[in-house]
Amino acid sequence: MSVQPSQQGGTQRSELGALLAGTVRAVVDAQDVLDDHARQLASAYAAAEPGTLALPPLWYAFDAVGIDIDLSTEVVRTVVTPGEAPQTQLLVRTLNPVTAGVFGYSASTGTHVHVTLTPQRVIPTALPSSKEPS
């Protein structure tokens, strides 16, 4: 089940799991862009005429990415379809400046999320064949 972001109080809110998954996807997408650029440079380097000045490509990688987010949080019970049991979700949103002005920064941010992504340093192996054995 995914919750679509909704507007409330001038800030966008989302389910915490969807926010974390989107954050990880953004880092992975950024690494893919860097990899594609390095592949293009490697192809140009390989295609260069012998004896010409062609520099080998640099390959960049995110080694350790840390993201800290302070969020306002609310617990919401939802019913997906009539007859189903209600589900509890943790909805988060960016800090509402009005709430921070009235209650202070510490009281306005109920959740501090720290996400750290590091490579596993594992050499990838070939993917299993999708063909079924005969």
Q: Give domain status of residue 8, yes or no.
A: no
Per the CB < 8 A criterion, the answer to whether 38 and 84 are in contact is: no
104-115: per-residue pLDDT in tens? 766 666 778 888
Mean pLDDT is highest, among 66-70, 99-103, 129-133, for: 66-70
d(C-alpha 58, C-alpha 37), whole Å: 10
- In a domain, residue 59? The reply is yes
Domain count of the fold of the chain: 1
pLDDT in tens, 46-93: 898 888 888 888 888 888 888 888 888 777 888 777 888 888 888 888
Measured at the CA of 21, the angle between CA 97 and CA 118, to 5 degrees, comes to 105
Averaged pLDDT for residues 111-124: 76
Residue 127, in any domain of the structure:
no
Report yes or no on 129 lying in a domain. Answer: no
What is the b/e burial string over 65-94, where b = at least 16 CB atoms within 10 angstroms of the residue's CB? Answer: beeebebbeeeeeeeeeeeeeeeebebbbe
Give me the long-range contacts of 54-60 (CB less than 8 A, separation at least 24): 59/35, 60/34
Instruction: Copy the structure tokens of residue 30.
Output: 């950024």
Q: What is the pLDDT of residues 4-33, one digit of tens each?
A: 544 445 557 788 888 889 988 998 899 899
pTM: 0.61
pLDDT band at 3 (very low <50, low <70, confident <90, very high): very low
According to DSSP, the β-strands at 11-15 and 111-117 are: unpaired
Q: Which domain holds residue 43?
A: 13-117
- pLDDT score of 131: 63
Check: CB of residue 77 under 8 Å from CB of residue 27.
Answer: no
Q: What pLDDT score does 124 carry?
A: 60
Structural domain includes residue 94: yes
- Asked, for residue 112, whether it belongs to a domain, the answer is yes
Residue 43 domain-assigned? yes
**Domain membership flag for residue 68:** yes
